[in-house]
């Protein structure tokens, strides 16, 4: 397998697995995270306050503002996930500890 094909295959695997983790494991595993549950409870409390204190127009603007942070976070997560896996795959010398060999043509 040539390097370009291997790179394309790796990115496809990363995309697939990132989506899999997001869709399948994230909710079940994070439900057990006590700190996250505290944050979510606090957010619900704030949402109740904002629902009653803000006009519809300002609430929409505020929700869009908050959504932009979530969008940014997802972009960062995907970036660091790919960079982490890429770094792990780029430095395969640790495979020598397991008497494994890897050949890239």
CA distances from 13 to 20, 42, 47, 85 (A): 10, 36, 38, 11
Summarize pLDDT for 40-99 with one digit per residue, the tens: 999 999 989 988 899 999 989 999 999 999 999 989 988 888 888 777 777 666 666 666
Q: How many Å apart are CA 46 and CA 41, to the nearest integer?
A: 9
User: Is the pLDDT score of 33 beyond 90?
Assistant: no
Contacts of 82 (CB under 8 A, 6+ apart): 11, 14, 18
């Amino acid at each position: 397998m040539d390097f370009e094909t291997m790179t394309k295959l790796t990115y496809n695997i990363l995309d697939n697995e990132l989506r899999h983790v997001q869709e399948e494991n994230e909710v079940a595993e994070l439900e057990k995270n006590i700190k996250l549950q505290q944050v979510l409870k606090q957010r619900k409390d704030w949402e109740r306050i904002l629902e009653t204190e803000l006009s519809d127009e300002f609430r929409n603007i505020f929700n869009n503002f908050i959504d932009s942070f979530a969008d940014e976070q997802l972009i960062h997560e995907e970036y660091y996930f790919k960079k982490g896996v890429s770094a792990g795959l780029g430095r395969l010398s640790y495979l020598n500890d397991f008497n494994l060999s890897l050949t890239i043509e």
